Structure 1
Amino acid sequence: MAQDVVDIGDRKQLFIDGRWLRNAHGVKLTVNPPVKHERVLTPDHPWESRFIGHYKTIIEHEGRLHLWYLASGPSTSNDRATHHQSTCYATSRDGLHWERPSTGVIEWEGHRDNNIVMCGTDEISVMLDPNGPDEHRFKALSPVNETPVWPESLKANTCKPCPPDNMYYECHLLTSPDGIHWKIAGVVSPYAHDNNNHFFFDRRLNRYVAYFRWNVCDNVCGIQRIRTLGRLEFDDPMQLPWPYRLNAASNVLPDGRVGWQGGEFPIVMEADQQDPFLPCTDINDAPVVQYPWADDSYYLSFPSFYRHYDQDVIPVEACAYEDPQRANVTNRHNTGVKDVQLAVSAEGVNWERPERKPYIPLGLEGDWDGGMTYAGLGLVRRDDEIWMYFSGVQARHGTADHRRTYGGIARLVQRLDGFVSADFDYTGGEFTTPLVRFSGTHLLLNVDCSALGEVRVELRDERGIPIGAYNRSGPYRGYSMAESIPIDRNHLAVAARWRDHDDVAALIGRPVRLHFRGRAAKLYSFQFVTP
């Protein structure tokens, strides 16, 4: 019987899911949280004095890092939308030291010497579009609230305001030639999506893909779903609205607002029966990226899971840095804590969480990130590290005292390809890959064996028999486990060796299986390359 062969060519393959693990014994997938580093931005200006962070996007473009982030500050204006929440802009060459350029775009309390680029926006995300004209190079998604300090916002085609705070929640597309001067293109969806909706051009599909916070109110398997992640595909982001599915069952309120939704957007991620505290656990937001340093399809998401307290069981007592009235009365059913997990997917539709543990955990109670953490949208590579940025809040959701200052944006450092690893037990383990066909002359491994660990690799044929081969010059070269040279220590790209050689050119184009055996080691990725 013919066996399926995966053509991997010279493309890097990651161990983020179980696709490469067959007949595994003493091996498990392990999520590797990044290391928290310094806060790179804190609320230093009056227009940021309530908080900064929450939702933010990092993009590297033309030799600089560009950051758009949510900020809020007090205002003497009676127009709550004017300075309730704004989008601010910062830039950096090294990712450590950030500048807030004076953009002159928005007037704040009588002056334009600030880094605000949009006002009345809420929970914004930004993308750099590889297609389309320069005037629409940057695109963003956000609700837009009409405010006189940003004339462009007056073009917002908004629905009825959503009480009690009279904020609008239709999702708008905005475009910009430079990331600073923005215009509203129109409404992509009329629904109340709320947090961190975003989209990107999927290089695998050659289409655009959007992910939305999606609020539903129904029961599946006995679970009442509220906050979930929805998904759309489309060809042209400027063709508005985007192609959601109309559903007559949606809850349209008497004033015209759309309340809880039905099946307009396919749901691709949600809390399930393995999660605790249901139905009081759901997904607040879930930034999704297509991993840029492996050509095959690897999608990563960093969902913020929200445990909102069942206050019939857990009464909320405000901490010293929280507002006791908001904690105990106003937000009785919307108070709780959040942290970030890691989810992975091969195609961006079917998601799994290899381990359901915090990827960006809370800090100590009372620390600046002790109540909530939020992952930023975007990955940055610096040499052999991947940097992300996250924000934290000292207070729990729904308890913030607006007389205080919260938040900040901090740097995270992850090993290249290091999000998930195939970990060999201390006493040993092994596994075999499916059949692959490759095109490189050497096999490189990203592996950490430290001092007491090691990894060996054997190449097998379709029948599972270790391979011996002759190259053109004649000498026999074997690829069996007995001939494999053990790898120790910590490497980002170490060549596998067998006795006196590391050349696999004789096997190019031939179906083979890789059989790994090791102990006390973490294997992150493998790749066939030609030096």
Structure 2
Amino acid sequence: MLVLSLFVTRPAIPAEPPPAAHIGSRLELLVDDWLIDSRRDLSFQLHRPVRAETVLQPEQPWEGTNLGHVSILRDGERYRMYYRGYHNPGFSWSENIVTCYAESRDGIHWIKPNLGLVEWEGSKDNNIITQGQRGAYLTPFRDPRPGVPQGQRYKSLAGNPPRAMISPDGIHWSVLRERPVLPKPRFGISFWDPRRKTFLAYVRAWRPDGNGGRLRSIALATSSDFLAWDDPQLLDFGAVPDAHLYWNTALPYFRAPHLYLGFPMRLVEYRDPETGAVRDWTDALFMVSRDGFRFQQYREAFVRPGLDAHNWQPHVNMLAYGIVPTGPSEISLFLTNAAGGKRHLQRLTLRTDGFVSLRASAREGEFVTKPVIFSGTQLLLNASTSAMGRLRVELQTADGKPIAGHQLDDCRELVGDSLALRVRWKRGADLSSLAGQPVRLRLQMRDADLFALQFR
């Protein structure tokens, strides 16, 4: 018996290109692979901020020695700072907790105004906004919705368990409702999300560690009216984290609000070899999300404790809530620091949009994006090269065919360091004829970092 195996060869059928993403003219940070279809010899590189000057330190008795839980809000031309003071050594939930206030015109030089609101040891000459548990851990935001009553223009969750707080000016605060809005003891950071048209709150939670124990973590709650909140859901980090996430500062990035950036304080427990006691070290992480719930977490530290031994202790290396611009090419974050033996707030600087880059070594690499639909007339890159480095860009059709006049060999080499390198081809930089239709970008890089791209 003769058995024949017959293999029929059919012409290859091209795969349908994926649906095009409508990015318009928004800024796209290269913090994840959402935009990327394929890449070769490139890697994502986390960039650590640079330590700058001390911007605030406790100097008054009511501020105490336990500076922490700092919140920074840029409000028009003014920068507002809210921070916890506690005048007794150590930490305890008591009426001694105060929320203090400072402000700045540039985010670098801060003053503590005399508010005259709260009496402290017989005098109201201080910068205290609230005193006691009910107003503790204030992290205000400005409600941007039209029609919001002026008395509720500023909002915050505060206290433990959290209550809804409101203010007409960011200084004078009252409770929107006496009953806590989240029944369990949780620290909550909240804001209005215009994309989802709802209030979001990131609160402390616990998750199983897979070994019968549990780890501190972060959960998300939502509300339509800032009073009725749904049950918080543990954030999705993919694999279960292997350390405590003690404090979270997740928020929409002000330059690209479709991205949620988080900077949780990671707490790592260890056993003291001399005493046998369980102690902990802390650092700060970076994480990013496209929907506010599923976060990609970079495992290496965004901020390390550093050389000073005083930073290798509990409850330091905590990033403040808020990212603000402090220069034409710089953004600032703020870190609770204990260098020198006394807690203070240190400013950290970072290149604008410079959290993560797609990096090419001296060996040339490249990536191709998924199909996108853009608006605008030109393409700008936030990028940095060495003297021998370069970037080149090719535009392709949705099915990956080079577009005449915008091929790789037509592109003028981009060399330098700028937040807005304009891409040019032999025919010029104008892309208006391609706006509104699906295209792919092919970027070739050598000894370069690409932080962000934007059509304008």
TM-score w.r.t. structure 1 length? 0.77
What's the CA shift for 1:339? 0.7
Of the three residues 259, 266, 291, the one matched with 1:305 is: 266
Q: Which of 126, 137, 147 is the aligned partner of 2:153?
A: 137
> Contact conserved, 2:396 with 2:402, CA < 8 A, in 1?
yes
Correspondence 1:79-98 to 2 at 5 A: 81-83=94-96, 85-98=97-110
Match of 1:10 in 2: 25
Which residue among 294, 315, 318 is the counterpart of 1:350?
294
Match of 2:151, SS? helix
Aligned pair partner of 1:412 in 348, 367, 376: 348
| SS in structure 2 of the partner of residue 46 of structure 1 | coil
TM-score, normalisation: structure 2: 0.89
1:36 aligned partner: 51
Aligned to 2:11: none
Query: What CA deviation, in whole Å up to 9, does each residue of 1:336-359 have, x standing for no partner?
Result: 111101000111110012x32111
**Is this contact kept in 2: 1:229–1:269, CA < 8 A?**
no
Distance 1:45 1:369, change over 3 A: farther
**Contact 2:114 2:127 (C-alpha < 8 Å) held by counterparts:** yes
1:254-333 counterparts in 2 under 5 A?
Answer: 265-268=232-235, 272=239, 275=242, 281-294=243-256, 297-309=258-270, 311=271, 314-315=272-273, 332-333=277-278
- Listed one character per residue, the Cα deviations across residues 416-459 of structure 1 (whole Å, up to 9, x for unaligned) are 11111111122111110001111211111111113221110001
- Give the drift of 1:101: 0.9
Output the CA distance in 2 between the equivalents of 1:343 and 1:204: 20
The two structures, once aligned, show a CA RMSD in angstroms of 2.2
Q: Distance in 1 between matches of 2:153 and 2:217?
A: 29
1:61 paired residue among 63, 75, 92: 75
Query: 1:298, 1:345 within 8 Å by CA — same for their partners in 2?
Result: yes
**How far apart, in 2, do the equivalents of 1:394 and 1:308 lie?**
21
Amino acid at match of 2:230: P
Q: Distance in 2 between matches of 1:171 and 1:177?
A: 20
Deviation, structure 1 residue 509 = 2.0
CA contact (8 A) 1:370 1:394 kept: no
Q: Which residue of 2 aligns with 1:50?
A: 65
**Secondary structure in 2 aligned to 1:482?**
helix
2:8 maps to: none
Which letter maps to 1:227? R
1:337 aligns with 2:281: yes
**Cα distance in 1 for residues equivalent to 2:252 and 2:274:** 39
Cα distance in 2 for residues equivalent to 1:204 and 1:350: 16
- Offset at residue 499 of structure 1 (A): 2.1
After TM superposition, give the deviation of residue 271 of structure 1 in Å: 9.7
Following the alignment from structure 1 to structure 2, what is the Cα–Cα distance between the partners of residues 487 and 177?
49
Cα shift at 1:81: 2.2
Q: After superposition, where does 1:44-443 map in structure 2 within 5 Å?
A: 44-52=59-67, 54-74=68-88, 81-83=94-96, 85-121=97-133, 122-131=136-145, 132-143=148-159, 169-185=160-176, 186=178, 187-193=180-186, 195=187, 197-216=188-207, 218=208, 220=210, 222=211, 224-237=213-226, 239-240=227-228, 242-244=229-231, 265-268=232-235, 272=239, 275=242, 281-294=243-256, 297-309=258-270, 311=271, 314-315=272-273, 332-333=277-278, 335-353=279-297, 355-367=298-310, 372-382=316-326, 383-393=328-338, 406-443=342-379
1:36-87 deviations in whole A, cap 9, x for unaligned? 11110011111123232x2111111142111000111149xxx98232x210
Checking the alignment, whether the CA contact within 8 Å between 1:363 and 1:370 is kept in structure 2 is no
CA distance in 1, matches of 2:260, 2:348: 19
Shift of 1:411: 0.9
Q: Which has the higher strand share?
A: 2
Match of 1:27 among 36, 42, 45: 42
Match of 1:466 in 2: 402
C-alpha distance in 2 between matches for 1:366 and 1:522 = 33
> Residues 2 and 419 (structure 1 numbering): CA distance in 2 closer, same or farther, change over 3 Å?
closer
CA–CA separation in structure 2 for the residues paired with 1:271 and 1:509: 34
Whether the 8 Å contact between 1:369 and 1:407 is mirrored in structure 2 is: no
Aligned partners of 1:228 and 1:270 also within 8 Å? no
Kept in 2, the 8 Å contact 1:229–1:270? The answer is: no
CA deviation profile, 1:187-226 (whole Å, cap 9, x unmatched): 1112122x4x21111121111111100135x454x46323
3-state DSSP of counterpart to 2:426:
coil
Superposed CA deviations along residues 4-60 of structure 1, whole A, max 9, x for unmatched, are: 1112222221111111222211111111111111110011111123232x2111111
Residues of 2 paired with 1:266 and 1:206: CA distance? 18
Equivalences, count: 431
CA drift of 1:184 comes to 2.1
Cα shift readout 1:345-391 (whole Å, capped 9, x = no counterpart): 111110012x3211122132334677630111111123222111121
Paired residues of 2:201 and 2:220 also in contact (CA < 8 A): yes
Which residue in the other structure is 1:147 paired with?
A: none
Q: Which amino acid aligns with 1:90?
A: A
1:263-322, Cα deviation, whole Å (9 max, x unpaired): xx21005695564xxxxx211011111012125x2110001100122x3xx4366xxxxx
Give the counterpart letter for 1:374 in structure 2. Answer: M
Give CA deviations for 1:239-266 in whole Å, capped at 9, x if unaligned: 34x232xxxxxxxxxxxxxxxxxxxx21
User: Is the 1:71–1:87 contact (alpha carbons within 8 Å) kept by the matching residues of 2?
Assistant: yes
Aligned positions of 1:498-509 closer than 5 A? 498-509=425-436
Q: 1:479 to 1:212 in 2, by over 3 A?
A: same
**What corresponds to 1:158 in structure 2?**
none
Using a 3 Å threshold, how does the CA distance of structure 1 residues 63 and 273 change in structure 2: closer, same or farther? closer
Q: Do 1:308 and 1:337's aligned partners in 2 also have CA atoms closer than 8 Å? A: yes
Where do 4+ consecutive residues of structure 1 move more than 4 Å? 269-274, 367-371
Task: Determine if contact 2:165/2:173 at 8 Å carries over to the other structure.
Answer: yes
Measure how far apart 1:414 and its partner are.
1.4
Q: CA separation in 2, counterparts of 1:376 and 1:347?
A: 22
8 Å contact 1:104–1:113 — kept in the other structure? yes
CA deviation after TM superposition for structure 1 residue 525, in Å: 1.1
Q: 1:443 and 1:192 mapped to 2: Cα distance?
A: 48
